[in-house]
Chain A
Amino acid sequence: MSLIINNLSKTYSNGVKALQNISLDIPNGMFGLLGPNGAGKSTLMRTLATLQDADKGSVMLGDLDVLKQKNEVRQVLGYLPQQFGLYPKISAETLLNHFAVLKGITNKGERRELVQALLHKTNLYNVRKQNLVGFSGGMKQRFGIAQALLNNPKLLIVDEPTAGLDPVERNRFYNVLSELGENTVVILSTHIVEDVKELCTNMAIINKGQVVLKGNPMKVIEDLEGKVYQKTIVKSALAEYKKHYQVISEKLFLGKQIIHVLCDVAPGNGFTPISADLEDVYFSQIFDTNRNLKIKA
């Protein structure tokens, strides 16, 4: 089963072009969607999750038309939104049970076992009878993924799931995700490059509504191999360097400014070559599109 997105476009009523001719081929397995804030990730996620309509284009999940056969898609869909709340006066177990009914697991016995299993899996079993109002951020997310996994989905959409989680929780979260079977299309959207590197077999970078890069993480890093150079400079010199070189990242380390530049040939001038990293790939793409857009403007 694969998810085929073809020329998907959406413009909001205030003129913002959220999606511009997005085309992606997503097979089974973990797919990472990288992009800065405002890139269009959430719009794309919601459209794939049957919650938003597109202006043009098509999305096919196997034989199902995601845009037109919404109800059939929902039967095999799991969705974890970027932001969500929970009913305060209800226990985790009760609400999870409630969602299981909504998803079509109407047999009481099956449902009970399923809910128990998922609570164990997300380490919420001990707190299953507690009211959700007392849950920490991490616990909430775990609950969120538990409900998304209820119907053993064929398409799982997780929208920026680890934003705001501490490193331990992030780890737990990925452990749960990685257990998913190979028969699921999992689309993970994030702006944390680490997540994609750790989990995904396939990725795409999206910026300002357009796909700027797609492929296998390893391969896209390879493409950049030998072109990335590093140098430590003084902060005040940054503007000067930006004029002469393609600066793709500027970081601070022990108070000093370290820049990475992209060069086809060795630039000399104190620059040292480094192995490319996925972050470099990401920054280079974003920088590129931004620069292209600036030139256009």
Chain B
Amino acid sequence: MWYEIFKFELKYRIKRPDTYLFFVFLFLFSIVGIDFILQGVELGPIKKNSPLVIAKAMGAITGIFMIIASMIMGVSVLRDFEYHIESLMYVNPIRKRDYLLGRFLGSFAVLLFVFSGLLFGMMLGEFMPWKDPNDLHPFNIRSYVQPFVFVTLPIMFFGACLFFITGALSKKIVVVYTQGIVFFVIFIVVKSITNEQLQAILDPFSLTTISLLTESWTVEARNFNGIPFSGLLLYNKLFWIVLGLLILVFGYQKFNFTIVKRKQVNKKKSQVLNIETDIDYTREIPEFQLKYGFKAKWTQLTDLSLFYFKSICKQPTFWAIVICGILIMLVNSVNLGTVHGVDSYPETYFIVKELQETSVYFFLIILVFYSGELIWKERSVKLNLIYDATPISDFIHLAGKYIGLLLIYIVLIISLIISGIIFQTMNGYYNYELQVYFYGFFLEILPFLALYTFIAFFAQVLTNHKFIGILAVMVFLTINIGLRSFGFDHDLYLFGGSPLGTYSDMNGFGHFFKPFIFIKAYWLFFGLSILIISSVFSVRGTESNFLKRLKGIRTRLSNSLLKFGIITMTTFILLGCYIYYNTNVLNKYMSKAETINYRVNYEKTLKKFEYFPQPKIVDVNLKVDLYPSTRDYIIDGVYVLNNTTDVTISEIHIQKLMDAHTALDGVTFDKEVIANNEYNEYGYTIYELKEEMQPGGSITISFKQTFTTNGFEVGGSNTHIVNNGTFFNNKHLPTLGYNKKYELRNTDDRSDHGLPPRLKKAKREDPKELLNPRSGSDSDGITFEIIIGTDENQTAIAPGSLMKNWTENNRNYFHYKMDKTMINFYSIVSAEYEVQKDTWRVTPKTETKPVDLEIYYHKGHDFNLDRMMESMKASFDYYSTNFSPYQYHQMRITEFPRYLEFAQAFPGTVPFSEAIGFVLDIDDETDVDMAFYITAHELAHQWFGMQVEAANVQGQHLILETLSQYAAIMVLKKHYSEDKVQQFLKLQVEKYSNGKRIESGKEPSLAFVENQEYVYYAKGAINMYELQEYIGEDKVNLAIKQFISDWNTTDGKLKMRTNRYATTKDLLGYFKNVTPEELQYLIHDLFEKVIPMSTPNT
């Protein structure tokens, strides 16, 4: 018997087009599946078709398309009720067992067929012409079949059981496709489980399971080994299979052949009996008027909007989604803006970001499902013919539904805002900054939802099929996201435009605001146009044929609607023209591909000049005029260059900053030159000297550089020159010679364009780079003087002592001068600042004059100023005592907007991002004082990086960064307790493991470290601490002191003699000198060998 039911089910499904549609859809998607899932992930040496990668991609795709499983399995029993055939079905003498088994197996067979599309699609994907054979192993069918059987099938089985039973028991179609959401919710909840073992077992798609299992695998293993079906993975799969079986058993018990149409509701008041009273057939109908004008339409629109809004509010599934959303947010609310393990104050900016990130999924779910529901609302209860016969305008009807849904979003948004405010209040933070809430939700989220709702409605009307319409919107959304990462990023064709950009307390939304508004308006008018089209294309009456509806548009488009449509389309086009004018006419727009090509050509054309002998800059004198309100500047600069080489120099190569807004003109020399403009398209000009420059000779260059802002650009544009918080460094000014930083970094892009792999750092003995303290360094030290003019309410800061400041013509002027040489690396900063000042008095031990300590901060960000001050004093105490005297007269910490999240060291100046220290909420008991620590680290750079510089070769960062870490830890230890140091070191272990996990290459030793941050920051800190534990803090400090004395740039004895910069070979020599014989191995182990550190889980 069950076999008959099974066959019937199959036969029925075979005739349905959606069976094939789902298969084709999944098949096509899977062809590009791996590329899609992996976009933005650099696999390095791991091939795209290694079993591990395939397994993860399969897991992810299965996860995304579980909703298809829901649609296939859920309708199995439900179908009888939907078509009202249940009474005929259930009176037959069939046994429950046969009925359920037959239906289940039949649907499951179909499910397998549909999901085989995943398997075949991915396999076919390997042979697609756009795949790079270098990324692939030879085809191995096992790599695909194995993950399909082990990863996909078990979870498919579970999904099949779950969806089948819920459909059979609930008998409601709406449950079928909302259960996909609950599943998704479970997935998110699982992701946030911190116990990794538990998480691995519970992960429905085995993504974290596989990651955990293969955590310690080598690159070899990752490339070739199949997924191990043992241990955690086995438990994970068993868990879900068993759960599925349990659900089947439960459902089997509960199911029976009754036709339950309505629930037994406890009626609180009894139904009012419909008593036959004297029926008043002859009752007079009162007078009324039928109105169709504009005012009437408006009333209808508001009435309909409220009607649809209320109808969604009444649905229990809606509340189910909302409650799931709240749960997720509670789970996620735990960590808020953490930096190095410390939470920030619950600033509105953080709260908004957190709320946005989690709530957007739920908004999308609501958007996709309820647009379907609303479009089909009348038809699902068979009330559509009555509606269609009323004179309600097509557009008003559809717009009513649209606005109803919008009202739902707005109500949800307001609740989110209220919960955010409650959260802040509960944490004792009262600066609510309502405008930030407003911007975050009503400017960013709501327009995004509004635009996609237009699309969803259009998709539903076009496809006239609820499920396919839902799929269509999901596809559209994914394609849109995908396009952007493939380099198609112009806001005029990328639906919805770009996001608003980072909010900074200092700069608000700055200059991002205006283009955002215009682009959103542009897309909203587009959306409105397609809403109008949707309304006259929608099904009205009995005709649902596509072509017939198309023909019907002409009659349905009333005059007023036509006029309205023309107005919206015209506005759309006008806005488009204005935007285009700004982004492509006033400014230069380069697509991602064009940018890459430009940089490839730069390298191919100019790399030959990389080590071309050039003089060095020895003096810089600048006159800078900043105009922050219009985002412009004018710089008049003078460089004095000396020929420090031992050859004659006949050409001077000047590189202008590669930026369309920056113009360099008026470059003049005090000697005769001929300009060679051959490479001008790269901003590279060669000046041929009439009279060659002899070794020891000098030359003066005067230039004028301007930065001009016109209109607005695609993609947010410059974050250095802003309205409040301007921050740029001398790399923006003209530099000498070829600039390596313009080379492409991405290994795939490089090989695509025929470029050799990029050497990250030169070998330690590279003779050319031994002479460079930085890539392409054009100086060995300069004397520096600058006058900066800025807006009246701003303070401008550059390295040097403030000689004079004055106001003139409503502008502020600042004159800074360094009284000794400094490295050619300086910052120019300007913003509206408050300042806290202090001094550091030297103790009798050191010989320097008192140092001015200044912190320039944004008003209100005064949480950690005292900590920073303390740190400056403590650090100067320690470093001056143990290493060498501090070389400058001032130390200034300047806050800059959170567009960049770091702190950086310049001579006597430390710009410090808004995001990483000023708003940290440091609990002295549970946290490490990161504001203190980062300050100490940056101050250490005045020694490591400015007093002593390191050659631009392997190991450079051991000297610059690791030593700074060491120094800062020592200050931390002195000021706080040993426990805090241990806590800090534990954080470093975590950072190390995280870094190592994503490392695709081999881990280098500290002595030869290149750009591996997890080595020179994290491991370095740990190893240096260990060193001083063994040989003693005093010994280490002595070594460093000697190292600085011998190698500092100003008068280091060895530096002067060898005329090169220090390397780790030199540094380690000093360490070895202070280390006793029996501990010499330590130096070798810690710095020259690679001993992987134990991570907490092994």
- The yes or no answer to A235 lying at the interface (CB within 8 A) is no
- The yes or no answer to B271 lying at the interface (CB within 8 A) is yes
A74 in contact with B307 (CB, 8 Å)? no
- The yes or no answer to B8 lying at the interface (CB within 8 A) is no
Interface SS majority for chain B:
loop
Question: What's the nearest-Cβ distance from chain A to residue B259, in Å?
Answer: 16
Residues of A within 8 A of B695 (CB): none
B279 in contact with A104 (CB, 8 Å)? no
Contacts across chains A and B counted by CB atoms under 8 Å: 145
A151 in contact with B558 (CB, 8 Å)? no
B381 in contact with A99 (CB, 8 Å)? no
- Kindly report which residue of chain B lies nearest to residue A157, judged by CB atoms: B389
- The yes or no answer to A130 lying at the interface (CB within 8 A) is yes
A107 to B284, CA, bound (A): 19
Q: With A51-B541, A85-B382, A133-B262 as given contacts, are A103 and B290 in contact (CB-CB < 8 Å)?
A: yes
- Kindly report which residue of chain B lies nearest to residue A75, judged by CB atoms: B391
A52 in contact with B543 (CB, 8 Å)? yes
- The yes or no answer to B283 lying at the interface (CB within 8 A) is yes
- The yes or no answer to A50 lying at the interface (CB within 8 A) is yes
- The yes or no answer to B390 lying at the interface (CB within 8 A) is yes
B542 in contact with A46 (CB, 8 Å)? yes
Cβ-neighbour of B385 out of A13, A51, A89, A179 (below 8 A):
A51
- Of residues 289 through 341 on chain B, the ones whose CB sits less than 8 Å from some CB of chain A are 289-292, 295-296, 299-300, 303-304, 307, 311, 314
Q: With A71-B391, A121-B283, A126-B275 as given contacts, are A79 and B296 in contact (CB-CB < 8 Å)?
A: no
8 contacts between A and B (CB under 8 A): A13-B545, A68-B555, A71-B393, A84-B383, A87-B311, A101-B299, A106-B300, A107-B289
- Of residues 98 through 117 on chain A, the ones whose CB sits less than 8 Å from some CB of chain B are 98-99, 101-107, 110-111, 113-114, 117
Interface residues on A, range: 35 or more
Q: With A50-B541, A98-B307, A133-B262 as given contacts, are A120 and B280 in contact (CB-CB < 8 Å)?
A: yes
- Kindly report which residue of chain B lies nearest to residue A119, judged by CB atoms: B283
Residues of A within 8 A of B (CB): 13, 46, 49-53, 68, 70-71, 74-75, 77-81, 83-90, 98-99, 101-107, 110-111, 113-114, 117-118, 120-121, 123, 126-127, 130, 133-134, 139, 144, 147, 149, 151-152, 172, 175-176, 179
A121 in contact with B543 (CB, 8 Å)? no
B271 in contact with A130 (CB, 8 Å)? yes
B290 in contact with A151 (CB, 8 Å)? yes
A175 in contact with B281 (CB, 8 Å)? yes
A85 in contact with B381 (CB, 8 Å)? yes
- The yes or no answer to B387 lying at the interface (CB within 8 A) is yes
Residues of A within 8 A of B391 (CB): 71, 74-75, 77, 102-104
Residues of B within 8 A of A79 (CB): 385-386, 389
Residues of B within 8 A of A51 (CB): 385, 388-389, 540-542
B290 in contact with A75 (CB, 8 Å)? yes
Residues of B within 8 A of A (CB): 262, 271-277, 279-292, 295-296, 299-300, 303-304, 307, 311, 314, 381-383, 385-393, 397, 540-543, 545, 548, 552, 555, 558
A102 in contact with B285 (CB, 8 Å)? no
Residues of A within 8 A of B311 (CB): 87, 89-90
Q: What would 11 more interface pairs be, CB under 8 Å, given A51-B541, A70-B555?
A: A50-B541, A74-B391, A79-B386, A102-B300, A103-B391, A104-B300, A105-B289, A117-B283, A123-B276, A123-B279, A133-B262
Question: What's the nearest-Cβ distance from chain A to residue B548, in Å?
Answer: 7
A134 to B271, CA, bound (A): 9
Cβ-neighbour of A83 out of B277, B382, B552, B555 (below 8 A):
B382
- Kindly report which residue of chain A lies nearest to residue B261, judged by CB atoms: A133
- Kindly report which residue of chain A lies nearest to residue B301, judged by CB atoms: A101
Q: With A46-B541, A53-B543, A85-B383 as given contacts, are A179 and B282 in contact (CB-CB < 8 Å)?
A: yes
Residue among A79, A102, A133 with the most chain B CB within 10 A?
A102
Residues of A within 8 A of B272 (CB): 126-127, 130
Residues of A within 8 A of B314 (CB): 89
Q: With A103-B391, A151-B290 as given contacts, are A84 and B274 in contact (CB-CB < 8 Å)?
A: no
Question: What's the nearest-Cβ distance from chain A to residue B794, in Å?
Answer: 57
Residues of A within 8 A of B558 (CB): 71
Question: What's the nearest-Cβ distance from chain B to residue A93, in Å?
Answer: 13
- Kindly report which residue of chain B lies nearest to residue A148, judged by CB atoms: B386
Question: What's the nearest-Cβ distance from chain B to residue A66, in Å?
Answer: 12
A104 in contact with B292 (CB, 8 Å)? yes
Question: What's the nearest-Cβ distance from chain B to residue A29, in Å?
Answer: 18
A118 in contact with B295 (CB, 8 Å)? no
Residues of A within 8 A of B300 (CB): 101-102, 104, 106
A80 to B285, CA, bound (A): 19
A147 in contact with B386 (CB, 8 Å)? yes
Cβ-neighbour of A104 out of B275, B296, B541 (below 8 A):
B296
A84 in contact with B542 (CB, 8 Å)? no
A80 to B390, CA, bound (A): 11
Residues of A within 8 A of B291 (CB): 104-107
Residue among B303, B382, B543 with the most chain A CB within 10 A?
B303
A114 in contact with B274 (CB, 8 Å)? no
Cβ-neighbour of A53 out of B275, B382, B548 (below 8 A):
B548
Q: With A71-B558, A85-B383, A101-B300 as given contacts, are A107 and B275 in contact (CB-CB < 8 Å)?
A: no
Question: What's the nearest-Cβ distance from chain A to residue B896, in Å?
Answer: 56
Residues of A within 8 A of B545 (CB): 13
- Kindly report which residue of chain B lies nearest to residue A94, judged by CB atoms: B307
Q: With A114-B288, A121-B281 as given contacts, are A102 and B387 in contact (CB-CB < 8 Å)?
A: yes
Q: With A104-B290, A151-B290, A175-B279 as given contacts, are A87 and B383 in contact (CB-CB < 8 Å)?
A: yes
Cβ-neighbour of B274 out of A68, A101, A104, A126 (below 8 A):
A126
Question: What's the nearest-Cβ distance from chain B to residue A241, in Å?
Answer: 37
- Kindly report which residue of chain B lies nearest to residue A132, judged by CB atoms: B381
A242 to B386, CA, bound (A): 45
Residues of B within 8 A of A75 (CB): 290, 292, 391
A108 to B1017, CA, bound (A): 72
Q: With A52-B541, A103-B290 as given contacts, are A121 and B280 in contact (CB-CB < 8 Å)?
A: yes
B299 in contact with A106 (CB, 8 Å)? yes
- Kindly report which residue of chain B lies nearest to residue A138, judged by CB atoms: B274
A139 to B271, CA, bound (A): 14
B280 in contact with A105 (CB, 8 Å)? no
Question: What's the nearest-Cβ distance from chain A to residue B547, in Å?
Answer: 11
Q: With A83-B382, A86-B381 as given contacts, are A99 and B280 in contact (CB-CB < 8 Å)?
A: no
Question: What's the nearest-Cβ distance from chain A to residue B299, in Å?
Answer: 4
- Kindly report which residue of chain B lies nearest to residue A121, judged by CB atoms: B283
A50 in contact with B389 (CB, 8 Å)? yes
Residues of A within 8 A of B275 (CB): 126
Cβ-neighbour of A102 out of B281, B392, B552 (below 8 A):
B392
B390 in contact with A102 (CB, 8 Å)? yes
B284 in contact with A117 (CB, 8 Å)? yes
A259 to B455, CA, bound (A): 65
Cβ-neighbour of B288 out of A53, A70, A105, A175 (below 8 A):
A105
A110 to B381, CA, bound (A): 29
- Kindly report which residue of chain A lies nearest to residue B541, judged by CB atoms: A51
Residues of B within 8 A of A121 (CB): 280-281, 283, 285
Question: What's the nearest-Cβ distance from chain A to residue B373, in Å?
Answer: 12
Residue among A53, A111, A149, A151 with the most chain B CB within 10 A?
A53
Residues of A within 8 A of B388 (CB): 50-51
A70 to B552, CA, bound (A): 11
- Kindly report which residue of chain A lies nearest to residue B267, judged by CB atoms: A134
A150 to B59, CA, bound (A): 57
Question: What's the nearest-Cβ distance from chain B to residue A183, in Å?
Answer: 13
Question: What's the nearest-Cβ distance from chain A to residue B542, in Å?
Answer: 5
A151 to B291, CA, bound (A): 11
- Kindly report which residue of chain A lies nearest to residue B387, judged by CB atoms: A102
Cβ-neighbour of A99 out of B386, B541, B555 (below 8 A):
B386
A84 in contact with B385 (CB, 8 Å)? yes
A98 to B390, CA, bound (A): 11
Residues of A within 8 A of B262 (CB): 133
Cβ-neighbour of B390 out of A85, A103, A110, A117 (below 8 A):
A103
B281 in contact with A176 (CB, 8 Å)? yes
A49 to B392, CA, bound (A): 14
Residues of A within 8 A of B292 (CB): 75, 104
